[in-house]
Structure 1
């Protein structure tokens, strides 16, 4: 009688093994096997990390094995099981691979397709078409859209991490508990001693060093030493946590009436301000998006203030970016003066601090939360709802949305709250287009804009990889147009995830392989490189509190000549909030255990050789970029490594 050898791999993560009963049914083109219990007497099957083999005997040949059904039934108590993959050796000696990489919970069954990626138009038989349709119907019931707050991209319909489908939960929820991690950070950084003085102000800038005791970080220490200097203020617009705000100034806005006479003393080339603008040496950072936004009031006893400043920046003869003029509100007037480097030192310092505080707020809410975390979640939910596991784009994207929905759910549960800022924000996520739109694409004009240079390299490598995969499965533009699942995916992102917002720049359909390639590049790059660039430098640039105040306790100054050290200290966060701030940026900057970096795909969703070769080419390109960045950083006091591929996780998981 014909016999098939079934090999099953159990996951190696905690609690992946099971003592429950596991049954298998092989489904062929001619007939199906009997439902078979997989059990070895006197042997503990399906242990964590185990690879177990079993013989399944049938009466007649089943034909080509196209589906495998796995069922889990309770033995004593419900015991979840994580199945990595199944391989079937046929009586003729052929091997058929069935990737799984999912949890079986309760009395659940999973039906798996073989590992070859298939577009919907590739499926010809009724059996596989029905399987594909049923999988998507089940997914749409499981992964539901929910409006978390008006004007914000849609999120998963789950209020708590434990309510999420098991497949997208963290392996260990404890490891991503924000409250627990903050507590650990505060303990590790030795700042508990200040918590009892929660609302007490510091006495002087030097006092902030008292919570800097255990920091061993070259960049943060350099920031602490030089934060008052104009060059440090300007440099962060290029390579700090929020390197997406600076743009070339081609014309001064009417709302920011800076004159040549105001800034002439700071200009080095014997040109007027207008001539400097024409020469491409003037840049601007406008925080208009913060105008009219009330900051969160975490303590009813403490007022907090937020400004929407405009900052003019000057590229001097040494190619350094320096602040030239600062207006702390959007409407010019006597109560909204333009602060200048020629003003008193404390007036100028306080104005810069207000800009840095605004930059911190915009970074956290827009650059970091909205444009990486929330957008990747939208892509992830739409992927689960519209793309079956057999689809090549599902296989391509699944590593890049790993744990994202989980981390966002934990954040909504514990960390972030309402914010009315998102309906003002443009959401173009195409990296080169964003750089060009801000007028900062010329390397000769901004030679030390490492975020741009490294980002362009990673973008091109990612796009090349996505293009390779697209061309393996789509031989023409017409195949893209005829792929009803990929069209439903992009429509779900725009029409449901983004709720057809007026400012949504995402397409509702794709017409070519080039459009599909760029779309996939946006998804992968946003979830990996862009998130890394704006997340993992938070400890570097924000741990010195005066350089990135998370809150301001006094209103912005409405006239010059009023600032002194006392006013600045009373404006900055108090001891308790400084301590929590430091713990937060430390915790948010930590890499996860067993982190998977860009190009690392240990879960082999793809089995085809051409895709594996494309992955290897991608990894080689990333390694070359890493080497280039490493050589450039040698000997630098301010090395830039946030876009180095060896430090870019595959997905938004922290």
Structure 2
């Protein structure tokens, strides 16, 4: 791990110089470079020949005094998990040199003031089953060695291994178990040893003296030097812009703008160091193999083999090409019954003959050997809402209910100003005043109140995508097979707490020599207006679905979390208590983000090919990041207050009074938020006992500073960034991150198949203009003769629908090794009695929350979560079985 120079002197004494590599500011690239602002550190230890420990179980001890000869016999047990790579090499095991361990003392040598020499030992293979290999040995540990603070591991196999844990039995103080759960590179790939600290957590200022140098240098290694292409076995965490979504070397049409920087602000991703494109030096080449992520961020073998992750990869490589080869990309469904056939009869794909697909997609691929041996059928499971009520998607009441308890329940806003007015430049985009007039609204609510009373009583709410989408309309309308409007949808809060849609406004800016066009559509019983209302709803739902996937889901969770993970690994030591608190919330996120860049959000990927903005999809998320995203507003209470959905009230539950009492996402989310915040508070109080410790914690401060100035560097000068000086500051920041990675992600992810699996309920694209935009267009005549066909032509094509449905089935599924919030305790938490007790309180509270949510769903008075044919709101129930369940809150963004 350290570069070691050994010089033998005349008196047979070795002088071991532990030197950091020269740092890259001097022109030399090396993983052990220290920060350029600090002088190089040198340590010299004097030991006699053979004193570096033992090999093959034979310890060669240094000459010591009689008192120092006291020792304990320690049994070492190492568990290696058999993974996809096949595990350790048998030949290496037979030679007794498969895994080398070094014990590192927490103490300095009292005589020299230097780090004590490590104790080395090779472990021997003793047992193996289908899942694990056990290695054991015994060693003598002198009493003068002190407490073991870390172990160094060298993998002498020719390939990597997955180290599960190391246990040391025989110490007077009891057994010591070090949980590793990490890939260990072969020393043939990298001679540096891996370090694993014990499960005791230390703030930087409290680090045992014997571990300070190791703590610092391990972080230096994780930061890397910013040069070179990363190798799959490496663990380097560094930043880069999103310059790998396009593929300009394959086609000019696949060139995409770089996201990140002044022109297109965006969070940073993990740097891979791949070569630049030949035709566009600003873009990074696409990879034929998996995109690099630091090795510890990769899926576990269980996760990788599970159908919901491996299927995602196989979908891109096998299933999608079969779909494209067989299904016409532009054909709509001719009648609604053909949509139902996707769940009843299925789709017979002659090109789909790979029997492995049936294993990868057990919910989708069915065998039909009675027709032709080996032929496979693509047939979808019926989504829960459709299974309960075939016509659920037509209901205006359900439209309003899903705005509060559906797939995207975090965009509704309170109307506080009237009349509605655009903030865009009228010279470019036309008249700013909304076409939704007082007369239109009062016609709809005249039996209840006036518009002034509705606003005063907080009964008027809006989904507003007008100013966000309008600047994209002209560009998107130049693309084939899609169209766009700016949209506003107005709702009225009824006396029973449900939302009634009042009006939809669609706007097209001046373009192609035509003036601005805008029209308002309202619910109506007359056939023409009724079908126009349904078409207008289809456009709004396409806008809301796109915003959900690109912003509420991808941007706010996956994308914005990656910089937190990178900064944590660069600046928070693995022994830092906050690193250990956040670790489960970062599990697998970088890996799933890398896979998303391969086939979901990339040029011509699933999002671009099937969603309204098409090639402008991710660029649109950059605009939202630039204009709307704020870290402080990612906290659930702050978000609710910002949208006018709540006000502070110390006498109300959670300290908030909700605008809509029956708001399932907010009600259940606040239960989770409070439980998370209490757990984080208890944890922080355990380790930060002095008021000044947060501000003086150099690792913590470096982490937060780098998140703001590098990971989210395009927003570094914003005034809303929280300061990090007190324990309360830390609690708020950590609670926000934990909420985003657990509760918020669960709310917008695991209901995707249930609510969008039947795509008329959540179309991803609107392909045709409203027929009233140009009555001379043949579309008007078609609409008047066959309005149902006009709606089907507006919906996604057969290929788009089946493609998205397949992906949503995968993304909505829980892996068999999913770790749910409060269900699984981290080893370091379990080893601390105080933290363990607080975690048990947290876990117990989450079980209580399950019961509270079940009780709410059984309450018939809560009409936004119960009723005939209504799917109960369970997305924030903490626990779940594997598969597509529509419930369960994992610790992390793991799919």
| TM-score between both structures, scaled by the size of structure 1 | 0.91
Instruction: Give the corresponding residue for 1:63.
Output: 146
Flag the structure with more relative contact order, 1 or 2, with Cα contacts below 8 A and sequence separation at least 6.
Answer: 1
Confirm whether residue 338 of structure 1 aligns to residue 520 of structure 2.
yes
1:118 is paired with a residue of what secondary structure?
coil
Q: Is the 8 A contact 2:240 2:268 kept in 1?
A: yes
Provide the rounded CA distance (Å) in 2 between the counterparts of 1:300 and 1:274.
Answer: 41
Instruction: Give the corresponding residue for 1:611.
Output: 835
Distance 1:45 1:24, change over 3 A: farther
Distance 1:89 1:174, change over 3 A: closer
Match runs of 1:292-307 below 5 Å: 292-293=471-472, 302-307=480-485
Instruction: Give the corresponding residue for 1:489.
Output: 703
Provide the rounded CA distance (Å) in 2 between the counterparts of 1:295 and 1:361.
Answer: 17
Of the candidates 90, 100, 117, which is equivalent to residue 23 of structure 1? 100
Distance 1:600 1:250, change over 3 A: same
Say which is worse superposed, 568-577 or 195-204, in terms of deviation. Answer: 195-204
Instruction: Give the corresponding residue for 1:320.
Output: 498
Q: Is the 8 A contact 2:708 2:716 kept in 1?
A: no
Displacement after TM superposition at 1:466 (Å): 0.5
Instruction: Give the corresponding residue for 2:121.
Output: 36
Match runs of 1:124-163 below 5 Å: 125=209, 127-141=210-224, 142-148=236-242, 149-150=259-260, 151-158=265-272, 161=290, 163=292
Instruction: Give the corresponding residue for 2:78.
Output: 8
Say which is worse superposed, 205-214 or 371-380, in terms of deviation. Answer: 205-214
Instruction: Give the corresponding residue for 2:614.
Output: none
Match runs of 1:160-559 below 5 Å: 161=290, 163-172=292-301, 173=304, 175=306, 176-177=309-310, 178-181=312-315, 195-213=326-344, 214-222=380-388, 224-252=390-418, 253-254=420-421, 255-267=433-445, 269-287=447-465, 288-293=467-472, 302-329=480-507, 335-342=517-524, 344-417=529-602, 419-421=618-620, 422=622, 423-427=626-630, 428-441=633-646, 445-501=659-715, 507=721, 509-556=723-770, 559=773
Provide the rounded CA distance (Å) in 2 between the counterparts of 1:352 and 1:250.
Answer: 24
Displacement after TM superposition at 1:556 (Å): 4.5
Confirm whether residue 565 of structure 1 aligns to residue 788 of structure 2.
yes
Distance 1:184 1:278, change over 3 A: farther
Q: Is the 8 A contact 2:101 2:122 kept in 1?
A: yes
Distance 1:89 1:193, change over 3 A: closer
Q: Is the 8 A contact 2:385 2:392 kept in 1?
A: no
Distance 1:237 1:87, change over 3 A: same
Displacement after TM superposition at 1:171 (Å): 2.3
2:145 is paired with a residue of what secondary structure?
coil
1:521 is paired with a residue of what secondary structure?
helix
1:155-184 deviation line (CA, Å, top 9, x unaligned): 011366452222111124465242524789
Provide the rounded CA distance (Å) in 1 between the counterparts of 2:82 and 2:850.
Answer: 29
Distance 1:93 1:610, change over 3 A: closer
1:291-330 deviation line (CA, Å, top 9, x unaligned): 3237999x99942223331111111233220111111238
Instruction: Give the corresponding residue for 2:872.
Output: 639
Displacement after TM superposition at 1:402 (Å): 0.5
Q: Is the 8 A contact 1:39 1:45 kept in 2?
A: no
2:77 is paired with a residue of what secondary structure?
strand
Provide the rounded CA distance (Å) in 1 between the counterparts of 2:267 and 2:386.
Answer: 34
Say which is worse superposed, 323-332 or 459-468, in terms of deviation. Answer: 323-332
2:828 is paired with a residue of what secondary structure?
coil
Displacement after TM superposition at 1:614 (Å): 1.4
Q: Which runs of 5+ in 2 are unaligned?
A: 1-68, 93-97, 110-115, 225-235, 243-258, 273-286, 345-379, 422-432, 603-616, 648-656, 861-865, 880-887
1:55 is paired with a residue of what secondary structure?
strand
Instruction: Give the corresponding residue for 2:844.
Output: 620
Q: How many residues align?
A: 644
Provide the rounded CA distance (Å) in 2 between the counterparts of 1:522 and 1:168.
Answer: 22
2:102 is paired with a residue of what secondary structure?
strand
Displacement after TM superposition at 1:138 (Å): 0.7
1:264-303 deviation line (CA, Å, top 9, x unaligned): 3321544222221112111011113333237999x99942
Provide the rounded CA distance (Å) in 1 between the counterparts of 2:722 and 2:439.
Answer: 50
Q: Is the 8 A contact 1:185 1:584 kept in 2?
A: no
Provide the rounded CA distance (Å) in 2 between the counterparts of 1:33 and 1:426.
Answer: 49
Displacement after TM superposition at 1:529 (Å): 1.0
Provide the rounded CA distance (Å) in 2 between the counterparts of 1:503 and 1:419.
Answer: 24
Distance 1:519 1:46, change over 3 A: farther
Provide the rounded CA distance (Å) in 2 between the counterparts of 1:251 and 1:371.
Answer: 27
1:284 is paired with a residue of what secondary structure?
strand
Provide the rounded CA distance (Å) in 1 between the counterparts of 2:487 and 2:856.
Answer: 34
Distance 1:198 1:353, change over 3 A: same
Say which is worse superposed, 15-24 or 381-390, in terms of deviation. Answer: 15-24
Distance 1:215 1:445, change over 3 A: same
Instruction: Give the corresponding residue for 2:284.
Output: none
Provide the rounded CA distance (Å) in 1 between the counterparts of 2:683 and 2:873.
Answer: 31
Structure (1 or 2) with the larger CA radius of gyration: 2
Displacement after TM superposition at 1:618 (Å): 0.8
Provide the rounded CA distance (Å) in 2 between the counterparts of 1:137 and 1:367.
Answer: 35
